[in-house]
Chain A
Amino acid sequence: MKTNKSLPYLFIAPALLLFALFTIYPIFSSFILSFQSMEGGKYVFTGLSNYTRLLGDDIFWKALGNTGIILIVQVPVMILLALLLANALNSQLLRLKGFFRVSFFLPAVTSLVAYSILFSIILQDEGIMNTILGFFGINAIQWLGDPFWAKVSIIVAMTWRWTGYNMVIFLAALQSLSHEVYEAADLDGANRIQKFFHVTVPQLKPVILFATILSTIGTLQLFDEPFNLTKGGPADSTMTLGLYIYQNGFKYFDFGYASAIAYVVVLLVGILTFFQFKFTGDKS
């Protein structure tokens, strides 16, 4: 069939135009901005000054460290939990599957701001979380006021919000696996746990990689939760790169410096994605 040569371009033109203007242009523009500083009311090139300033900026290192800790703890915990739940919901004999699936997914539907605020109330010193812990004889924890527990609070909140989302992705992948491998494993006398680690997990590797990369990118941009849950405190213990970019950009209006931090995040996403591909040895 002969079709007009310009036809496909007409269909894709609106998307491309918007993409060029509101994604491609800003990406390059903020890269250039990261080498500029405001001097006498105008942006001028100052070479690597924003980047060298980062090296001596304690808050930046703190934000980097906090983001790293949250990433290292939260993502694996959540992925493992999501895998376990997906595995349980995939069981042939289970009833009420639809109910459980929707219940676990429901947190992922709510806005990041709404759930952050909700958790900030639940986790107050006199809040319901500490009351419940009291029933089990556990002393009240200063969830939001202690540097260590404030990080835990962010991790708990993020895990609540995103586990069901990843579970749904895993569940879909599980449903497309063939039964034959499991039957073969049964014949070999594998138990549940062996089947999970030796049959299920290896087969899901590409999907686990996909979910891990998405979660990593999301965590590196972490903003809504610390902004609404802890405001980055106490003593910057929950300051994240995302929050620090916002503060520098829209509180101090230092666009050049904020762009430099943003490009550190871009670099980190690139490096971590590269290593995640490398470690899992997945070439697709």
Chain B
Amino acid sequence: MRKIGLYSMLGLFTIISIFPFYWMIIGATNESGKMFTNPPTLKPGDQFMTNLQNLNASIDLGRVFFNSVFVSVVYVIVALMVCSTAAYALSKFEFKGRNAIFTTLLLSMMIPYQATLIPLFQLMSNFNLLDTYFALIVPQLCFPFAIFLLRQNFLAFPTELIEAARLDGAGEMRIFLTIVLPSMKPAMAAAAIFLFMTQWNNFMWPLVATTSNEMATLPVALSSLIGLSIIDYGQVMMGVTIATIPIIVFFLALQRHFISGMLGSAVK
């Protein structure tokens, strides 16, 4: 009996979690009005192409999608380099100021993003960097949570292996790249997913840092759609779907790494 109760509760919460995604697909494949019928339309419709074309007419879909992918991918690659080398130094070397640096990084996670927003905007504006990929990618490359997550994992790497490699005369960069990093793949994957999701979903900074439609990212372009006086819900739902499906597929493919990586850092 108790089990039935448990499964029905979990089942109910599963429906609540998943239903909005299903509704999103219904919306993306039906015409605008079908979202507001009683009884509700629960079957996918045949307006997929029409909604896609309408969306493409409202925003430069290809360009905006490319912007999001390009910015996210480049960001993840460079941020991983910046954060993993920092995490390595913070976990495997003794040096002056190490604790102070680590504490400052951690404390900065508590500073609301909005407290840095305006000076960042002014900085980019003064150097004429607004509306560039540079402005979208560079300011958040040093991501304290990613450094924290990687450091937790690097701490577990046996220091003896590093010392043995040094005795063999290997250079420090080589040790890091060929001995430490290869065994840190799960941690790097977790950090990569986290960084990718953060950048792909980022809204406030791209909203402020981009001024032209050509440089908009998907969330910014989506948000502009609901600012119009007459809203075509079919194309809006198509936009929401295009912003959501890639990140879900990406997550489902790598969720094992992600959840274990997140877990490792959250509890220790």
B-contacting residues of A (Cβ < 8 Å)? 1, 3-5, 7-9, 11-12, 14-16, 18-19, 22-27, 29-30, 33, 85, 88-89, 91, 93-94, 99-107, 109-115, 117-122, 124, 126-128, 131-132, 134, 160, 164, 168-169, 171-173, 176, 207, 210, 213, 217, 220-221, 223-224, 227-228, 241-242, 245-246, 249-250, 255, 258-259, 262-263, 265-266, 269-270, 273
Contacts and interface: CB of A to CB of B under 8 A. Distances in A.
B106 to A, nearest CB: 12
B39 A121 contact: no
B170 interface: no
Contact of A15 (B36, B142, B204): B142
Interface stretch (B17-25, B56-64, B182-190): B17-25
B38 A131 contact: yes
A15 B17 contact: no
Contact of B123 (A1, A24, A26, A85): A26
Given A88-B6, A102-B255, A111-B247, A121 B236 contact: yes
A121 B204 CA distance: 21
12 contacts: A14-B82, A19-B108, A29-B122, A30-B117, A106-B17, A110-B243, A112-B219, A213-B110, A217-B110, A224-B204, A246-B204, A258-B118
B263 A22 contact: no
A33 B244 contact: no
B105 interface: yes
Nearest to B222: A113
Given A111-B219, A112-B201, A19 B105 contact: yes
Contacts of A102: 252, 255
A57 B263 CA distance: 43
A111 B251 CA distance: 13
A21 to B, nearest CB: 8
Q: Which of B98, B120, B225 has the most CB of A within 10 A?
A: B120
Interface in B1-19: 3, 6, 9-10, 13-14, 16-18
B200 interface: yes
A160 B15 CA distance: 11
Given A262-B114, A263-B115, A269-B112, A207 B89 contact: no
A30 B94 CA distance: 34
Contacts of B116: 22-23, 26-27, 30
B17 to A, nearest CB: 5
Contacts of B18: 103, 106
Contacts of B243: 110-111, 113-114
B240 interface: yes
B73 interface: no
Chain A binding surface SS class = helix
A168 B259 contact: yes
Given A223-B204, A258-B118, A22 B17 contact: no
Given A8-B93, A106-B17, A160-B20, A266 B111 contact: yes
B89 A8 contact: yes
A221 B223 contact: no
B169 interface: no
A216 to B, nearest CB: 10
Interface in B81-107: 81-83, 85-86, 88-90, 93-95, 98, 101, 105
Contacts of B101: 12, 16
B118 A262 contact: yes
B75 interface: no
A121 B115 contact: no
A115 B236 CA distance: 12
Interface in B131-152: 138-142, 144, 147
A120 B226 contact: yes
A8 B171 CA distance: 13
B119 A221 contact: no
Contacts of A213: 110
B237 interface: yes
Contacts of B176: 11
B23 A118 contact: yes
